[in-house]
Amino acid sequence: KEGAAFISIVSSSPDLLKGIDSKKISAQQKAAGKAMHTYRQMIQSDKVSWTVVAAPSPAWAKKVFPEADEETAVQKLWNEIFKTTRVDREDPVQA
């Protein structure tokens, strides 16, 4: 409400909630939704500046490229992200 800006950096583990009781996950999501209501309302109505930056984690890279060692898997995943988003092109916006 005082004009803050928010940067969210996400790089979650694909197996983060593996083995967790789904009722606990549901309870957490409901509680977070309630607690974050005003925040989400402010973001969705563009009353604050915000951005989200996502980066592949080594765990995700190994999921996608299980045959590669961790460092190679991460590099391969970045290459696929660049290819998919056309960042590897001379003019990504035009592409």
* pTM exceeds 0.85 for this model: no
Per domain, the residue ranges of the chain are: 6-85
State the pLDDT at residue 69. 97
Specify the CATH class of 6-85 in words: alpha beta
Beta bridge mates, 57? none
Q: What is the mean pLDDT of each run of 10 residues along the chain (95 residues)?
A: 89 90 96 94 92 92 96 96 93 91
State the pLDDT at residue 12. 82
State the pLDDT at residue 3. 83
For 9, 71, 81, the CA distances from 88, given in Å and listed in that order, are 22, 20, 9
State the pLDDT at residue 64. 95
The H or E element spanning position 37 is helix 37-44
